[in-house]
Amino acid sequence: MELKLPGLSEGTESAVITFWHAVENDQIECGQDLLEVATDKATFDVPAPCGGVLVKIIKKNGEEVRTDEIIAEIKDLSPLTGFEINSPPSLCFAIEKQQGAH
């Protein structure tokens, strides 16, 4: 799946990537902080929208990115089909919690 920079705050259209918490080929978990971005107003951590493998980092540290611009590619390893591609983090947490309850 393509990972895009999410909307960060009202009126903010871009941010600078300050630090990637993961490197290519790292296995990541849903909700895990993947990268840190900074705007002129604040610094934000961007969580993984799903669990999987960080296949490719497209935008590097120091690069400015616009909201909804593709910044990385993740290979989704979710056990459930139909939810993995564009699931928001809250849905990922709900799926993981439900699976853990068995």
- Written as one letter, the residue type at 5 is L
> What pLDDT, on the 0 to 100 scale, is given for residue 78?
63
| Predicted pLDDT of residue 43 | 92
With beta carbons less than 8 A apart as the criterion, state whether 53 and 77 touch: yes
Residue type, 66: R
Tell me which amino acid residue 90 is.
Answer: S
Domain CATH number, residue 36: 2.40.50.100
Cα–Cα distance measured from residue 82 to residue 32, given in angstroms and rounded to the nearest whole number: 21
3-class SS of residue 71: strand
pLDDT of residue 80: 53
Q: How many domains are there within the chain? A: 1
The phi, psi pair for 76, rounded to 5°, reads -75, 130
Rounded-to-integer distance, Cα 28 and Cα 47, Å: 10
Taking the whole predicted model, whether its pTM rises above 0.75 is answered as no
**Which of the residue ranges 7-11, 32-36, 51-55 would you say has the lowest mean pLDDT?**
7-11
Domain containing 90 equals 2-100
